[in-house]
């Protein structure tokens, strides 16, 4: 199903005459409002210790509860990707990020409250003050460092994170 099929009413005037405009948008036949369905911004943090181990989280909540993940999350309004990844790392690990380096981006689909959200996940290499002081918080059940070469992408629940793991295993980070 196309993501726009989830929208039945115009978000501006509430009309039910909210029809397909083109592949990327819907248009209200009453007020003329055009809504484009765009990706939401999201972040993924790569925190690597001196032993070339990656900090890996276990998800505490759905979607894909209990699977492996990497710290990160949605970018809030009026927040840069860098600010978001710093905030998310603090919220999920209680660690302070001292340096952020953008690596690459990858598209994803994330089901939140039964609604499929298309995201653009921005991946950042993050340095922290002390990688040994992590504490699982927020929506993380557990944190652990795992050697990058030992990571199994199939144990990660989110499609984009599986791809990130595959990609970083080929990189020298």
Strand pairing class (40-46; 72-74): antiparallel
The CATH 3.90.79.10 portion of the chain extends over: 40-170
Q: Classify domain 40-170 at the CATH class level.
A: alpha beta
Q: Are the C-beta atoms of residues 25 and 35 closer than 8 Å to each other?
A: yes
- Each residue's pLDDT, cut to its tens digit, for the chain (173 residues) gives 788 888 999 999 999 999 999 999 999 999 999 999 999 999 999 999 999 999 999 999 999 999 999 999 999 999 999 999 999 999 999 999 999 999 999 999 988 888 888 999 999 999 999 988 899 999 999 999 999 999 999 999 999 999 999 999 999 88
DSSP-assigned beta bridge partners for residue 144: 56
2 burial type by CB count under 10 A (0-12 exposed, 13-18 middle, 19+ buried): exposed
Q: Whole-prediction pTM value? A: 0.91
Q: Are the C-beta atoms of residues 30 and 9 closer than 8 Å to each other?
A: no
- Using CA atoms, how far apart are residues 41 and 54, in angstroms rounded to an integer? 23
Enter the tokens of residue 22.
């083109």
């Amino acid at each position: 199903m196309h993501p726009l099929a989830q929208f039945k009413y115009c978000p501006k005037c509430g009309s039910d005459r909210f029809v397909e405009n083109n592949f990327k948008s819907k248009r209200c036949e009453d007020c003329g409002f055009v809504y484009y369905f765009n990706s939401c911004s999201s972040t993924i943090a790569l925190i690597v210790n001196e032993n070339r181990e990656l900090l890996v989280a276990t998800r505490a909540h759905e979607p894909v509860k209990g699977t492996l993940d990497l710290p990160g999350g949605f970018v809030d309004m009026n927040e840069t990707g860098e600010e978001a990844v710093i905030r998310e790392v603090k919220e999920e690990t209680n660690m302070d990020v001292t340096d952020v380096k953008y690596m690459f981006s990858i598209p994803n689909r994330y089901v939140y409250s039964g609604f499929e959200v298309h995201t653009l996940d921005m991946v950042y290499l993050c340095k922290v003050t002390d990688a040994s002081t992590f504490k699982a918080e927020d929506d993380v059940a557990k944190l652990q460092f795992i050697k990058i070469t030992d990571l199994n992408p199939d144990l990660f629940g989110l499609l984009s994170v599986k791809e990130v793991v595959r990609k970083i295993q080929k990189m020298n980070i």
